[in-house]
Chain A
Amino acid sequence: MKRNEAGERLTPQRAATLDSAALLEALRTAGAWLDAHIEEVNALNVFPVPDGDTGTNMSLTMRAALQEVNQKTYDSASEAAKVAAHGALMGARGNSGVILSQILRGFARSLDAKKTVNARDFAEALREGAATAYKGVMRPVEGTILTVIREAAEAAERAAASGADLEEVLEYTVMEAKASLERTPSLLPVLAEAGVVDAGGQGLVYILEGMWRFLRGETASAVAQREAHLQMAYAPEGQYNYDTQFIIKGQGLDVEAIRRAIAEMGDSVLVVGDAETIKVHVHSDHPGQVLEYGLTQGQVTDVVIENMQLQYEAFLAAQRQAAPKPAQVSAPLAEIGLVAVASGDGLQTVLESLGVHAIVPGGQTMNPSTQDILEAIQSLRCEKVIVLPNNGNILLAAEQAKALADRPVAIVPTRTVPQGIAALLAFNYQADLETNVAAMAQAAAQVQTIEVTRAVRSAQVNGLAIQEGQFIGLLNDDLKTVGQGCLEVILALLEKIQAEEYEIITIYYGADVSEEEAHHIAEAVRARYGDLEVEVLRGGQPHYHYIISVE
């Protein structure tokens, strides 16, 4: 049997066991393999909304695990696994990331004080990982990453029991994981309709496959690949630096031809208009080139060029600056603190004005990690804390933060910002935690939320054929309608919920929408629903053109 010294570079071919260093290298390779397929996993998201992508979330979770163990040596495989699991737990993003962290936690716990991991240990640890993941979810859904880890672990145990060595066990595990993944659409109708397999399950397959590849000696190249990919995953807005927008005025403009030409120059391309006026929006590294092209087509006006990297840095700087607020000494500390997740400066201001003490930036586009939420909780000088995740994909990370917090934390499971706002309006400083949580959850349940965004790709979902670029409407976080314009989508959803039965419609318009456009929408809504009060507020949220509450 080949013994590996900790810290040594490893290419263990047909190793019977993994020691701490080998186990970590296996995890690194797994992370690299996942990163190499991150876009593929992201593309599996059923809903064509620009939400926190599963691949990115799982990759960031793996990265957090690996950062935690970084550069250190460990006496035992179990200790290394524990540290990695802790890192994953703290850095978990999105529901799939949280489940992944649970798998690692169970895996690490099962290794107990083992110095090395053999085939049997591995199979048992995988089973414990699956069991822990199931326990971590309130209502486990089959046809997801949970099914894949469970069935993969069962295969591992069968293989180990029949005397297979470690590499063989992993080979069986990966094979079964893939087979299980293929079956997910038969278990989850929404996957079948969209014609995809489960994204979280796919991510897990890549992780297991990466470990298997390590055992087959494929470590080095994969690790190098990983670094390159992570650089990209961390770029704030795609890979281009400049956001270029302008309007071309002319006669007989060919929208299609211009769109094709602009698409060659960058990404996030938006070319809309008619033969006389065309609006161009593109992310590229050469705004000059884009402008030059525009000039060949007609008169160029309303030019806006923004350096997104600088914007991003300014955003980060603003975040840092906004964080510490001088506490008023004479004001008594609140017993119950309020933490809410939201993106968009307008929405954040609204939440703050309604008493939120700490805002965790994030939401649809970037799911905050368990650690982000935990830090917000611990930053408060309050005995107890209520967390409003305001997004279905952040609920689990919030639950994790609750479990790790040093004080009682309650989660009001709000899935949208309007639900969070309704919950805040019901909060009462004089009432205790339980009373508040009940009242807030009840208030949140009484709000209808409409969200409008653009489909980021074509898809078939909930019986709707969606073309990339069309506007899609979500009702209470569920994709319900598609249309060519925002107003069309909004009116369709208002009709669906019989808006005339309600009293107040509040329209929060996003960063991609002008105040004028928002008031236009409001006027049209008022025209249709004369008895309702229609309010307009700037939300500033990215990607979602409108977030609307109806109550």
Chain B
Amino acid sequence: MSPVKIVTDSAAELSQEIIEAFDITVVPWRVQIGTETLEDGPALRTPEFYQDMVKKRRTPSLLPPTARQFAEAYRRLAEETDQIVSIHGAAELSQALQAARQGRLELMGRCDIQVVDSQFLSKALGLLVMVGADVAQAGGTLGDVVRAVNGAISRTYLAFYTDALDNLFRTGLLRGSREQIGITPTYKPIMLLEEGQIVPLQRSRRRGEPVERIVEFIAEFNLVKELYILHTGLSPYYEPLKEQLALVLPQMHYEEHIYGPLLSSLIGPTALGVVALEY
């Protein structure tokens, strides 16, 4: 039996090394900046990209991959396998899932393709894709891969703090009034991506600086396998957070991750995020 192949989209924010090492197929989003259209990829996840964006005062628009792009990716893979697991961002946050489901129909009967809603985005999606790719490389079946990914979803966390919540309200990703979410002119709660939805982190009603609250959130993990701090280089909170973590949780190991244009288009480029995967 041929090995299971893993497909995702560029919203998983995987590095080139990971893509090659795990043999993952990534269908890219496109990023439109003014009249220029760029293919989303590792090159767009650099502080320089965001600095340039600010300098040019441009807000990029995100174009999701099309069903045709997915169908072509699946067709190419179908030459060497008959089992594909295609893992994508939360349906409400990313139109890639819908496009993948459409693309899959083109290959019906020729290849077994499972499209998985990871309920996450960004590095959290990336970690789940790696969980799947790991199982696939170890010779797991399509069912093994899907089970591993679905099982890891409940152990994955994505939280963020942003000053720019307006877009989330306007697009309906945050529902209700600001009052109901707990926002005041001096206070915005940490947001959690949970079951594919953005919800305020209700655990702490205590006020405090955003960085303190993020540290508090991180301190509550006890069995962290992977921990990433998300920023773009534009967040005013990243350096203070690093200092706080060194002070309060010196034993905590984490990696820095520059998040991509899709997440940036939702929560703004100045947010601070945390992605964690527990054992």
Binding site for B on A (CB under 8 A): 326, 328-332, 334, 350, 352-355, 421, 424-430, 439, 443, 504, 506, 533, 535, 537
Contact = CB atoms under 8 A, between A and B. Distances in A.
Interface in B56-76: 57-59, 61-63
Contacts of A330: 61-63, 265
Contacts of B176: 428, 430
Contacts of A352: 166
Given A330-B265, A533-B207, A535-B184, 20 more contacts: A326-B58, A328-B167, A330-B61, A330-B62, A331-B170, A350-B185, A421-B185, A425-B178, A425-B184, A426-B178, A428-B180, A429-B169, A429-B172, A430-B172, A430-B176, A439-B177, A443-B179, A535-B185, A535-B186, A537-B186
A152 B32 CA distance: 65
B177 A329 contact: no
Interface in B226-257: none
A331 B57 CA distance: 17
Contact of A427 (B61, B62, B177): B177
In the complex, the 10 A-B pairs of residues with the closest C-beta atoms, listed nearest first: A329-B61, A535-B186, A428-B177, A425-B179, A425-B178, A330-B61, A350-B185, A426-B177, A334-B170, A328-B59
A425 B186 contact: no
B184 A506 contact: yes
Contact of A429 (B63, B170, B179, B183): B170
A521 B32 CA distance: 49
Interface in B105-145: none
B179 A426 contact: yes
Given A353-B163, A425-B183, A328 B61 contact: yes
Interface string B156-192: 0000000110110111100111111001111000000
A355 B61 contact: no
Best-buried of B63, B171, B172, B185 by chain A (most CB within 10 Å) = B185
A428 B166 CA distance: 11
A424 B184 contact: no
A14 B110 CA distance: 100
Given A329-B61, A439-B177, A535-B186, A355 B169 contact: yes
Contacts of A334: 170
B63 to A, nearest CB: 8
A355 B188 CA distance: 13
B249 to A, nearest CB: 28
Interface string B39-71: 000000000000000000111011100000000
A241 B169 CA distance: 45
A211 to B, nearest CB: 49
20 contacts: A329-B32, A330-B62, A330-B63, A331-B171, A334-B170, A352-B166, A355-B166, A355-B169, A424-B178, A425-B178, A426-B177, A426-B178, A428-B176, A428-B180, A429-B169, A429-B172, A429-B175, A443-B179, A506-B185, A506-B186
A334 B166 CA distance: 11
A500 B208 CA distance: 22
A350 B176 CA distance: 19
A326 B186 CA distance: 26
Interface residues of B, number: 27
A41 to B, nearest CB: 37
A326 B163 contact: no
B236 to A, nearest CB: 14
Contacts of A326: 57-59
Nearest to B183: A425
Contacts of A355: 166, 169-170, 178
B76 to A, nearest CB: 28
A139 B36 CA distance: 56
Contacts of B184: 425, 504, 506, 535
Contacts of A429: 169-170, 172, 175
A537 B57 CA distance: 27
A326 B163 CA distance: 19
A506 B183 CA distance: 13
Nearest to B169: A429
Contacts of A421: 185
A352 B163 CA distance: 11
Given A350-B185, A425-B184, A537-B186, A331 B167 contact: yes
Contacts of B170: 331-332, 334, 355, 429
Contacts of B175: 428-430
Nearest to B166: A355
Contacts of B172: 429-430
B265 A537 contact: no
A334 B184 CA distance: 22
Nearest to B187: A535
B265 A328 contact: yes
Contacts of B167: 328, 331
A443 B183 CA distance: 14
Nearest to A354: B178
Contacts of A328: 59, 61, 167, 265
B243 to A, nearest CB: 23
Given A425-B179, A425-B183, A429-B172, A353 B62 contact: no
A331 B180 CA distance: 23
A353 B168 CA distance: 12
Contacts of B265: 328, 330
A355 B185 CA distance: 11
A425 B61 CA distance: 28
Interface in B206-227: 207
B207 A427 contact: no
Best-buried of B32, B58, B167, B186 by chain A (most CB within 10 Å) = B186
Nearest to A325: B59
B262 to A, nearest CB: 10
Nearest to A430: B175
B58 to A, nearest CB: 7
Given A328-B61, A328-B265, A330-B265, A353 B179 contact: no
